[in-house]
Structure 1
């Protein structure tokens, strides 16, 4: 399980969230806290530091829920494209990744071009760069 303490503030870029999505994600993370403490803690830490906006004030290249996101692991060079979804909508075979996964919590609120040093499920750190964001 990833350790939220390993993700330092200086390794995390500014993030931006839609107000209603931020509220929904807080509620989900707090509800899941007892069952998925590590995942919930990662997500809550990101939500706590986010700048919150109305939908109409959010720049178009920000990762929101249901965004299609292309990103690259700068260490391996591997590129992936996923759709960021709520936990009940996750389907890895269809490329739908939950915001409760380490990668989902790391990508929410990021902007195209930004990078973040982020742990995977095993705790290993990866530098991820958002290449492209297609919002719904």
Structure 2
């Protein structure tokens, strides 16, 4: 029983203030179409430590990050976490409004999390590597204001 409790406990996560604001609005707006995953995303945001974007460590998964992770079936995948309109599974660009996307946000290298796929099966993933996107001029301006 203690083993089960330990493995089901969610790791501490960090989210930038910019991502927090955008993702909270996205989750709220997606409630009617994607209620289950919108609620899961909001639950992740609610438990996150929110910090200024400039203070997020480089090894933390943020929007736009390219993440390499290992699944519980020992398979390794490399994906980029994006907003729904930018998702393209053929290019390994996964939406934050998917169960795996919501699970990845805020994790850092070495952290693991249990997540539930749309078919109801539970999986565990472990973050192996995180690469951040190049900053966009507009993002830099909003960080400095």
Q: TM-score, normalised by structure 2?
A: 0.85
Helix, strand or coil at the partner of 1:130: strand
Q: Deviations over 1:25-68 (max 9, x none)?
A: 00011011011100101101001000001122111100000000
**In terms of mean alpha carbon deviation, does 35-44 or 9-18 score higher?**
9-18
Count residues with an aligned counterpart.
128
Which has more radius of gyration? 2
Q: RMSD in angstroms over aligned alpha carbons?
A: 1.4
**Higher RCO, 1 or 2 (CA under 8 Å, sep at least 6)?**
1
Tell me what 1:89 maps to: 86
Q: TM-score, normalised by structure 1?
A: 0.91
Runs of 4+ in structure 1 off by over 4 angstroms are: none
Structure-2 change in CA distance of 1:59 and 1:96 (3 Å): same
Cα displacement (A) at 1:9: 9.7
2:99 equivalent to 1:102: yes
More helix by share: 2
2:15 equivalent to 1:17: yes
Unaligned runs of 5+ in 2: 1-5, 134-145
